[in-house]
Every structure is written in structure tokens, then in C-alpha cells.
Amino acid sequence: MFPRWRRGELASESRPGWESVGTARRTLKLRRAVVGCLLVLALTLVGLETALRFAAYLAEDRIEAKRDAATFVGTADVAVYGDSTPFGLGNERSFPTVLAESTNLSIANRSKPGINSNQALVILRDDLARFTPRCVIVMVGVNDVWNLDDVSPDLLPPGQHWQLGLRGLRLWRMARLWWYAGQAFERVKGQGFQRDRAESYKDTDTESISRHGIRGIHAVATEHGGRILFLGYPRHGWNAGADRVERIIDQEFPDDYLRIRDAFADRAWFQRDGFHVTDDGQVLIAKLVEAEMVRRGWVQKMPGRGGACMQ
């Protein structure tokens, strides 16, 4: 048996070795835990992206089934281009269908939820390359704050070009929608509107995108000889996106612009999100548009027949 001082000496000499082994084991466990967490995160993101793509695929079929075909534009008196509001998202009817019923005019609704002004330009340009409706009605631009599809790199600030490489990812689109649109989401309380979050999106970030889309739409419509009427939105939109678009239209094409917001001061006109109108709201938009078309002399009401004819 070793003397007590010798046993203590051996114990002190062996302790550093055991400590290093324990540290190595803890480090290995930590690394495995980190790798495991990263793997779970990666699989979760892949699963979410796949689920969002599948949901988008199903939604696309339902949307296209509700949209009028491009060929209908060839025989239509009026063609409507825009996003979720003219499409009638969350509604039984849209204002184009109500307008068609009240006037007996042939109206093609080519609107599509979620599109930006540049995507509307692409749809309009493709349609008018083959067909020429007598009148074009446009309500678009509020989604320019988050949707970068069909947006040229030249329209973005230099430091934001990298975002275009991610725009095909559904998770990225959802993140942008939450960040830019969601920050101005309005929570309805009683009969009024209350800001849920502060607006933080800068006008300059989408000014050039909206201006390019609006100018292009006007140029294509007038080039093909059709009358054009830009509609304002019933509400100011996500991060005041509708305000931004309407300001551009009022600056550049005031004679082709109809502001409708003043007729929507009451909360009862809107769905729970505080932006999309109810079915009654769609009917009101149709009445405002019809009255404007009559005022401009584009439509003549047929007394006693409940219809109208294009002039």
C-alpha cells in the first residue's frame, strides 16, 4: 500500500486526464444535440415548404376555376384586372359580376388574388395582344409591398437584389407577407379601426415598383385603343400600400382615376380583416363604377329595360 502522500500525488496526477475525457464527452454530446436540432429544423422547413407548395397548387386550381378565361376578353365589353378585391376573395360575388348583372354588359374578370401591379401588367399585356375590350377597369398595387414576382431588379434598391433569388420559396413569400403586410394588420374593435402594429415600410421601397406597373398598364390599355379606369381601394391597405398606389395614379393619370374610399367610412362594409369588403361592399363598388361610367358617357342606361349599352 502506498503512503498517503503517494496516493494523493497519484490522484492529483490522474485528475486532469479524467477531466479532459469528461469535457470531450460533453462537447461531443453538445455537438450531437446541435446537429440534431439543425436537422430537425431543416426537415421542418422542408416539410413546411412542401405543404405550402401543395396548398398553393390546390388554391391555384380553385382560383383559375373562378377566373374568366382570357378568350372571354375577346367578346367582353369590359375587362377587369386586379387582385383579391375585384376577384371577390371571401365573397359570394365580386363587383364585376354585380356590374354585369345590373347593366347587362359583358364583363370579363381577369383578377387574381395576391398579384402585384407588374403581374397585372403581364396579364393585361398578354390579353390585349390578342383581344381588345372596349373598356378596361383596374384595381391593383396594394400587394407591391410584399410580392416581388415579375419585378425587375432595376426596380429594387441595390442592396435588395438578393431577395429576388428567394422569391420562389413559399416560406420566403409568407415571411415577407407577415413582415411587410402583417406589420400594418388592423384589428377591428367595435365600429372603428385600430392599429395593431406601427407602419414601418418605407415609401421608397415600393414606389418604383408601383409606378412602373401603373405606367405600363396605362400604356398598354391606351395603346390598344381601350378606355381605362383605375379604381382606388376602399381602405388604405397593408402599410398604406393602397395610399401609395392611389397617390401615384392621382399624380400621373388623374383623369383616369376613381376614388371610392369616401363611400366606405363605415366598418360594416368590411370583412374581419378590415380591408376586404363584404358582399354588400362589392355591390357598392359596382354601383360607384356604373355611375362613373355613365357620367363619362361610356355607358348609356336603357330606360325601362334595366340594362345599359356601351357608347
Q: What's 135's domain CATH number? A: 3.40.50.1110
| 169 and 243 co-located in one domain | yes
Q: Which residue range is the domain that position 59 belongs to?
A: 1-66
% of the chain exceeding 70 in pLDDT: 76
CB contact at 8 A, 240 and 199:
yes
Q: Which of 37, 66, 95 is the last residue of a domain?
A: 66
What is the chain's mean pLDDT, rounded?
81
206, three cell numbers: 415600393
Please tell me the predicted confidence (pLDDT) of residue 155.
81
116 confidence band (pLDDT: 50, 70, 90) = very high
Please tell me the predicted confidence (pLDDT) of residue 156.
76
| 242 and 253 co-located in one domain | yes
Please tell me the predicted confidence (pLDDT) of residue 122.
96
Rounded Cα distance between 241 and 233, Å, is 10
Q: Which of 23, 38, 66 is the last residue of a domain?
A: 66
Q: Which of 18, 38, 66 is the last residue of a domain?
A: 66
Q: What is the dihedral sign for C-alpha 43, 49, 53, 55?
A: positive
Rounded Cα distance between 211 and 104, Å, is 34
Determine the average pLDDT of the residues in 160-166: 68
pTM: 0.78
| 25 and 92 co-located in one domain | no
Decide if pLDDT at 10 tops 60: no
Please tell me the predicted confidence (pLDDT) of residue 6.
52
| 62 and 105 co-located in one domain | no
| 98 and 179 co-located in one domain | yes
Rounded Cα distance between 257 and 230, Å, is 5
| 55 and 203 co-located in one domain | no
pLDDT tens digits, 237-252: 777 788 999 999 999 9
| 122 and 94 co-located in one domain | yes
Rounded Cα distance between 82 and 119, Å, is 9
| 31 and 130 co-located in one domain | no
Least confident range of 101-105, 113-117, 200-204 = 200-204
| 20 and 149 co-located in one domain | no
Determine the average pLDDT of the residues in 259-281: 92
181 confidence band (pLDDT: 50, 70, 90) = low
% of the chain exceeding 90 in pLDDT: 46
List phi, psi (to 5°) of 198. -80, 145
| 225 and 98 co-located in one domain | yes
Q: How many folded domains does the chain comprise? A: 2
| 175 and 264 co-located in one domain | yes
| 294 and 171 co-located in one domain | yes
